[in-house]
Amino acid sequence: MNPFPLIRIEPLGIEALDMRPAQQALRVQYGCLYYLSDACLRDVAALWGVMLPSPYMYDVGVFRNARSILHRTGRSEAEIRLACSPSGLWAMDTSYMLPLSGHGAAPSVWNPVAFLNEADAVAGGLHELIESLGRIASSSRSDASEALRLMDILKAERTPQLSLF
C-alpha cells in the first residue's frame, strides 16, 4: 500500500500521488533551514525511491534523467520536462518562453505531485501549460497573440486528429 494520498487531477480525471504532506512534515522536522540540510534532502529523495548518493539526481534534488517535449511557434516555446524515479513515479515540470515573459522549472524530488505513469505526466504538463498560457492570452499584454498560438499547438497535441485512412 502506498503511503501517499491519492488525488484526482481535474479536469483531466487522472490520479496521482500527493507528495505535499510528506514533504511538509520533513520541512517541519528539519526547521526553517530545511533546504540547507543534506539529511532533509536524503529523506525527501527517499520519498521518490532515490537513495543518496545517486546517479538519478543532482545534489539539489533535480532529476538528471529528465527528458523534454518541446513545442515552438514564432519566437515562443513551451516545454514539458519529465523524469522517472527509480520507484517508477514520474515527476513533471513545465517551462514557457514568450517574447516578454517566461517561466521555467525542472522536475525534482520537491515536486508536489508524483504521476503514476508517463502518459499522465505528459497530460498534466499539457494542462498546466495551457492554463498558464491561457491567462496570458486573455490579457491585454502585447505577447497575448503569441501565447494564444502556442496554446493552440498544445491543445492540438492534447487531442490529436485521428486519421481516417
164: in domain: no
165: in domain: no
1: in domain: no
Q: What is the domain range of residue 70?
A: 6-158
Q: How many domains does the chain have?
A: 1
50: in domain: yes
163: in domain: no
pLDDT for the residue numbered 160: 60
Query: Where does residue 88 fall: left (phi above 0), alpha (psi -120 to 50 degrees), or beta otherwise?
Result: left
51: in domain: yes
87: in domain: yes
- Integer Cα distance of 56 and 145 in angstroms: 39
- What is the pTM assigned to this prediction? 0.89
**Residue 131 CA, distance from chain mean position:** 13
pLDDT digits (tens, 9 = 90+) for 72-111: 998 999 999 999 999 999 999 999 999 988 999 999 999 9
pLDDT at 165 over 60: no
- Integer Cα distance of 17 and 64 in angstroms: 21
- List the end-to-end C-alpha distance of the chain, in Å, as a whole number: 45
128: in domain: yes
pLDDT digits (tens, 9 = 90+) for 24-83: 999 999 999 999 999 999 999 999 999 999 999 999 999 998 999 999 998 999 999 999
